[in-house]
Amino acid sequence: MAEPLRIAYSPCPNDTFVFHAWAHGRIPGAEAPEVLFADIDVTNGLAERAELDLLKVSYGALPWLLDEYALLPCGGALGRGCGPLVLTRPESSGDLTGKVVAVPSERSTAYLLFRLWAATAVPGGLGEVVVLPFHEIMPAVRDGRVDAGLVIHEARFTYQQYGLAKLADMGEAWEAATGLPIPLGAIIAKRSLGPARLRELADAVRSSVRAAWDDPAASREYVLAHAQEMDPAVADQHIALYVNEFTADLGEEGYAAVRGLLDRAAAEGLVPALAPDALAFP
């Protein structure tokens, strides 16, 4: 008997919304996969060890993964007005020169966008950059354990509950500089599966996206069950921000955004440079 297809994505509403139909065997002709739920810093690590067949990872981690994995042209998260935020306490001067900043990962789009922004916005140079679990960042800023924090996802809607202030929006800075959408989460699959199988997987992902849009109510229970006590209204905002036309297909603009981010990051020495055909889908 063939091994089940093993995939991983986060419990965040955009991922459970996108993958609901496929995960529940509702895509004709596509086998229901074996699903592991994990935050993106964990899936980045799983991909580095080539442990699963298909994963949601950060675009910022792609340069270390593309030897073993191919980027799928669908299922991921790109968008506008949905970038990471730099948060501080309201009394902060707003100058991060020499300050301690908490980030959720150093192999993430959020981190790359932050470092590209800081290269011009903090000419005196940052102090220490520390990695903290995502859920610890806002409390750490609030309690004065760090001077600022880089946050993603639902923190866009909840940071004021911690008494924090937005210093800068990394997405706004990126869009102002490039005019391109923000590449956040990518779907990758093992190259060893072969071109035909990779195309089948891309079709299954794309069909799952369309099924979610055709019947949003079908995934509601699944989304909220994994949303980590998130308010349903926040879950809806989350889906609206991160599931869009780029989720169905990256298209020319999506690929330009990914290549643009990684080429700029490589020029700053933040990631390895990409080969010309590194993003090509078989």
**153 is a catalytic site residue:** yes
3-state SS class at 269: coil
56 is in an annotated binding site: yes
Is 86 known as a binding-site position?
no
Strand locations in the chain (E): 6-9, 34-37, 54-58, 69-71, 77-79, 85-88, 101-103, 129-131, 148-151, 165-169, 182-190
What residue type is assigned to position 160 of the chain? Q
Is 58 marked within a binding site?
Answer: yes
R_g of the chain, CA atoms, integer Å = 18
* Helix (H), strand (E) counts: the chain: 11, 11
d(CA 7, CA 188): 10
Q: At 273, is the secondary structure helix, strand, or coil?
A: coil
Nearest-angstrom CA–CA distance, 205 and 52: 16
Residue 120 annotated as binding site: no
Task: Count the helix, strand and coil residues of the chain and give each as a percent rounded to the nearest 5.
Answer: 45, 15, 35
Whats the size of the chain, residue-wise?
Answer: 282
Given the residues 24, 135, 153, 238, select the one marked as catalytic.
153
Residue 109 annotated as part of some ligand binding site: yes
Q: Which uninterrupted H or E stretch holds 114?
A: helix 109-121
Residue set of the binding site for substrate:
56-58, 109-110
Catalytic positions, written as ranges: 153
Residue set of the binding site:
56-58, 109-110
